[in-house]
Structure 1
Amino acid sequence: MTTREFGSYEEFWPYYVAMHSRAATRWVHLAGTLTGLAVTAYGLARGRKRYLAALPLFGYGTAWPAHFLIEGNNPATFGHPAWSLRGDAAMIRMMLAGRDAELAAIAEKWLADNP
């Protein structure tokens, strides 16, 4: 697997979105992350610290297979873990704000410019 190099998060962002070019991949990420957050919040509210593991288990446990099975690529987190976490949060915020079409356009442009 070849890891792309980026000089900044701003340069990385369109690539991150392009690695989520299919709507199904983005929605699986959203579902996994929000489920993980909900289970983690429930656990913390109940004083069960072991539920903290829910966030990475649900988040990565749904996202990574989506890359292999839906997108046909490797997760960007393998090469850029911190920026990928930031990108995931930004992508989910945009989706929750109803801006999924904007994400699709960012992905389409990056893929057209980087065959």
Structure 2
Amino acid sequence: MDKKHTSLSSFYLYYLYEHRHPRNRVLHYIGTSGVIALLILSILWQYWTLLAFIPLVGYGFAWVGHGLIERNKPATFTYPLYSLASDFIMYFHWITGKLSRQLEAMEKHYGLSDKD
């Protein structure tokens, strides 16, 4: 299923494939929200020590989702930059209500959709 990805757009479909389970995505949203909150609070309070907790919060929730729910290896280990960007793209699509369309495109791409 995994192939060599040379663009963020091709990787994003793979990223969504690896995040098919809604509960895993919820854990990612919690982690990403925590990262954003820590970043904002660090800046507002000028309390830079909070920045040290960003990887723990961001990756902690995500890795629990992959280990306990999806039972797969996080894409972060193979594609760290694409994975980080894709997490924020997925978060943005979720916040803006565009994620279902992206998930449908992923399902079609990977032959998981019964619509055609």
Structure 2: which 5+ residue stretches go unaligned? none
Larger RCO (CA within 8 A; separation ≥ 6): 1
Question: What is the CA RMSD across the aligned residues, in angstroms?
Answer: 1.9
Q: Which amino acid aligns with 2:73?
A: N
What's the counterpart of residue 33 of structure 1? 32
Tell me, in whole angstroms, the C-alpha distance in 2 between the residues paired with 1:43 and 1:104.
33
Q: Does 1:66 align with 2:65?
A: yes
TM-score of the superposed pair, with normalisation by structure 1: 0.85
Per-residue CA deviations over 1:18-50 (Å, capped at 9, x if unaligned) read: 000111111111111111211232122112111
1:7-18, aligned counterparts within 5 Å?
Answer: 7-18=6-17
Aligned to 1:96: 95
Number of aligned residues: 112
Residue identity opposite 1:43 in structure 2: S
Separation of aligned partners in 2, 1:35 and 1:27: 12
**Unaligned stretches of 5+ in structure 1?**
none
Q: Assess if the C-alpha contact under 8 Å between 1:20 and 1:71 holds in 2.
A: yes
Question: CA–CA distance in 2 between the matches of 1:83 and 1:33?
Answer: 15
